[in-house]
Structure 1
């Protein structure tokens, strides 16, 4: 089988060809010369197009063309110098024409549409790498443009906000100064505590009659709103609504007439006799069945008769069962009439409300010390049980107990505070009490720092105020620890009772 003849190499470069293979260095130099010539022709064409469109830019384009020609000559000279240099070893050089062709730079593309505007002068080395999609003006704008920032202009609402903030800061400063003044412990017994505020420039009932806010214009008839159309004084008589007196608004309960023991017994007999006659009448009419005979141990033989003689054991058991049944019925009736816990609480609350509707009273007690936990518990628990409102103020100098409620509850609480509690009593706390009192200050504990029991022989309770009030000053019962006298006065001042602290300090 004969082998097919091989296709001859192009351009006589086969094994028997006469043409000599071009060296790689010579090919690179020739490619650079050709690229320089192409770049020079492109630059000359562009310069001619710009010159035709914009005659004013001709000198600039001429300079660019000359620069391009000079660059082409320099590239040609460099190529010739590279030809004279010794060739590099062929071991590292590519052996195939395809590799050489891939290494050749691509020819520059010619812009078919010349720009109408005069281009900015560029450096010669930038012309080879010119991007047809690059816009210098847009790039300059992008560099100059920064991030957008919201800018507010001073207007009406901003001015109002600034004024409100300033006013709020001023009120906060005033409040802080007032609290510091209270905590400083100013003596209320001094003249400063009893200063009376100056009268207003004009009273509220005269504001509708005078044109100004003071009494300086009272002698000027033109500034008096008496006979004018907008005057509050008219020909009509205004009758204010009639209000009931405070004592008439109370719930007045008529007390029943008290009876002696004999009168109560006689009334009971008459009531039971009337009920018995009514029951007998219903039996005669057949409305109710007749009741069985009430057999007891004493009348057993007389009621049962011959049956008791014949079988006394059975009759005795029957009588005992009837007696037990009557007892059980009595106990059951009593349990049915007995109130449940919820009904007892509701009845107690209703009675306390009725007591408060008859009139409200206030009592203020002064106690030297309340370091014993048992005293604090008795004060708090009894106030809650009697539905009293008020507050207990704990202070290192003195302790104040303020209560409000009906006459019955207040009298019960007075007996507790003035007679039932032993104020000289003191004892060490239990484990649970010690845990609760861990956060209390030292003056509110029953033991000293050395662990000894404090001496309460000097402790006593005094009633410093008692009287009737119109409305309650406190919504519920509570207590508060006040380290200073200023805090105690501030707490009482919220209920408009700050004068009680000065009263308590003045009484020894």
Structure 2
């Protein structure tokens, strides 16, 4: 069992570490008699350690004082520790090792030059971290310091020296660590000279022997040929002037072609000639049979077709298309109610009124409603008010007349309360028109020989807006075209208007001195009177239904009209809705 020391002895001797336990073996056989010599040995070792620390501090102070000259003053050699007594054992060896380590640390601190040259008061700083390595005189501060003024690792210093490529680099001093085991590693792998790479360019013989060598693109040293400068090549005089003149002639020719085509469209040559109605030739092979025929024409025998070949588009696989709801189902009319005879209608009304009367009587019995006053009429006057009618018949008759007037006023007030306002009627009409258009969009095209009468134009325009229809009216000097689209009910009512209700041969004097505005007022063929003020004869005027059918969605957003002086303008107006073919169809239509 190791002996205990009295507390506070280490502070008196200047030591800060506890007595180390010996690993050499059991204590000496001397036991109690060797206690006094061991205490004297401990005192001597502590004194040696204190002297070594004092010498190390003195060496650091002298090094800082001489740091401005760049040469560190040599530190005096620390006094070697006294030899251990022969009877100390393993503890004496441990104390001797500690003394040598302290002396080595003092020598390392004395040789290292500090960063600042200003002298500082002596202070005790235990060497917890290894000191930074000395800076080289030829390198900058960025070579010897880190980001926060901390010395770089020796391995990093060696790498930086190799990258700089300096031939005569001073060896980097390895730091003196606090343990003897760490000081045994004399050299690091980074400080050893590395293997240099041969960066010399290959010779001409070596390049020519390579399988990837191309003498046509090689330099003068590899291919043996020098690089010859390119000679100047001058253009002939007038070359670019001729090119510019050719471009101008081509642009003038294109502009002339455009003017000819534009004038032809204005005159109407492209509409009246027979080329617009020619049918294209039937192709030798239809596009849907090209994959099966495999040639420019159909084969004479069916066996020659590519039906059972390996590369045929016909296979054993069956393609099942996605089932879609038939579009005609949403256009089917709703089933109509069964018609009843007069007797059946009277019977249903009598049963319904009887049920309502019984319900009212039950509410009166329960006290939920007050009983209604007696309904006195002139026919039951004497039966309801017998005695009063006999006493004062004039007053009773006036009372009956007043009650009759009150009942009539209440009935009319109820009707007015249930009557829809103007805004409500408009909303209901729009709702019905949208419901009608949701079942399917119908299109009808009409040709009118003349719309010179302003009243005709008004009826065509206002009725289309009232029925919620969209489309356009093309006003042309030869004839007018009306294209309308909307629900089935609106198109049906508009067809009755155009074909039956309007009297197209009627004409009258304009009201208010004017009948049109804007571009319509400028066109003489849109006036109901001629230049002399006489009414125009509209006996030839009539309306013809050119085409009617269904479409998937509306092509126009609103209803409007447009004045077109030429066929090109009319086709352009209809081309926005992709209906320009209606103009060609209307030109060939025969009035009924």
Q: Please classify the TM superposition score into its range, dividing by the shorter chain length.
A: 0.5 to 0.7
2:420 equivalent to 1:339: yes
- Alignment match, 2:351: 270
Candidates 525, 536, 539, aligned match of 1:443: 525
Partners in 1 of 2:368 and 2:260 — Cα distance? 86
Partners in 2 of 1:449 and 1:417 — Cα distance? 29
Contact 1:365-1:463 at 8 Å conserved across structures: yes
Contact 2:454-2:515 at 8 Å conserved across structures: no
Give CA deviations for 1:135-185 in whole Å, capped at 9, x if unaligned. xxxxxxxxxxxxxxxxxxxxxxxxxxxxxxxxxx9xx98999976664342
2:266 equivalent to 1:183: yes
Report the CA distance between 1:268 and its aligned residue: 0.8
- Alignment match, 2:338: 257
2:446 equivalent to 1:365: yes
Report the CA distance between 1:311 and its aligned residue: 3.0
Candidates 473, 476, 479, aligned match of 1:392: 473
- 1:67-466 pair list within 5 angstroms: 182-185=265-268, 186-187=270-271, 190-192=274-276, 241-250=322-331, 252-434=333-515, 436=517, 439-466=521-548
| 5+ long unaligned stretches in structure 2 | 1-250, 297-316
Q: 1:261 to 1:182 in 2, by over 3 A?
A: farther
Report the CA distance between 1:285 and its aligned residue: 2.3
Q: 1:367 to 1:476 in 2, by over 3 A?
A: same
Contact 1:365-1:461 at 8 Å conserved across structures: yes
- Alignment match, 1:40: none
Partners in 1 of 2:514 and 2:341 — Cα distance? 52
Q: 1:374 to 1:277 in 2, by over 3 A?
A: same
Report the CA distance between 1:506 and its aligned residue: 1.1
Contact 1:188-1:194 at 8 Å conserved across structures: no
Report the CA distance between 1:399 and its aligned residue: 0.9
Report the CA distance between 1:312 and its aligned residue: 2.8
TM-score calculated relative to the size of structure 2: 0.48
- Alignment match, 1:495: 577
Q: Which moved more, 1:362-371 or 1:278-287?
A: 278-287
Report the CA distance between 1:197 and its aligned residue: 11
- The count of corresponding residues between Structure 1 and Structure 2 is 321
| 5+ long unaligned stretches in structure 1 | 1-168, 207-214, 217-235
Partners in 2 of 1:264 and 1:254 — Cα distance? 20
Contact 2:454-2:516 at 8 Å conserved across structures: no
Partners in 1 of 2:374 and 2:583 — Cα distance? 75
Q: Greater relative contact order (Cα 8 A, min sep 6): structure 1 or 2?
A: 1
Contact 1:396-1:443 at 8 Å conserved across structures: yes
Partners in 1 of 2:402 and 2:515 — Cα distance? 59
Partners in 2 of 1:458 and 1:341 — Cα distance? 41
CA RMSD of aligned residues (A): 3.8
Q: 1:500 to 1:335 in 2, by over 3 A?
A: same
Contact 2:530-2:536 at 8 Å conserved across structures: yes
Q: 1:189 to 1:470 in 2, by over 3 A?
A: farther
Q: 1:176 to 1:281 in 2, by over 3 A?
A: farther
- Alignment match, 1:38: none
- Alignment match, 1:142: none
Contact 1:361-1:406 at 8 Å conserved across structures: yes
